[in-house]
Structure 1
Amino acid sequence: MDYEFDDDPARIQPDVVWTYLSTDAYWGRWRSRADLDAQLVSAWRVVGAYRADTGEQIGFGRAVSDGVGFAYLADVFILPEHRGRALGKRLMRHMIDDGPGRDFRWVLFTGDAHGLYEQFGFAAPDATAMVRPSRQG
């Protein structure tokens, strides 16, 4: 099966993103559909992964940025039935290495997939980083 990766926001299928994030993702389930829709509209960059034959969206990643030197990566996923094909790596490459923020300082919060993110230069925070935990959940 062939796949395509695209950063066109108009191609994102919000129902696919919402279904995964509201049911399967361990992070951010406190969000409403309206919250997600607002995040999609205000995102600095979104990348979708799609089946080449049908156009069905099977993966997603979102970034928030100042557009100059900093970006926050969020909501990265590949649907379970499409995993094991290095699609997460391809999505990350499209989002970070091949995108306009390749030289930025990137951050993310994750409880898993550390091995994937380390391949793209993510590491434990250094002494310059501090985090104020969310009060939303």
Structure 2
Amino acid sequence: MQYVTPVVIGVLYALLNSVLREPHRRHFNALMIAGAGAVYIGGGGLGGWEFAFTALLTYVAYRGLESWTFIGIGWLLHTAWDVVHHLKGSPIIPFGHDSSLGCAICDPVIALWCLRGGPSLRDLVRGGRPAAAPDRTAA
């Protein structure tokens, strides 16, 4: 369950996002990746690197306001940061020893959905074509 639950959470995240219409869905996800960039800053255990990573993901999130590709890249960067914290830093949830590992499993699921353009999964389940707005900028 330690490895399955994070995948289910990632799929649920994408499904719940399907209720948002474009461009609000992309803008919401840009804000989410900005927040994810700062999640370790209060006690991640990596000192000044926490600020550098937050600055990097803030830039990626800003670019993500116009580009699903940047949002997907942001989730992949956060995946790598989760792995670093699982191995060397403090967990994302202080009382959850393997919480950073769970996040590192969940984030690529979200990233793949974002790199596909953040399509409405409701449309995919119905067998129709995904209705995602195209990126406005090239990656």
TM-score range, shorter chain: 0.3 to 0.5
Structure with higher RCO (Cα < 8 A, 6+ apart):
2
Greater fraction strand: 1
Greater fraction helix: 2
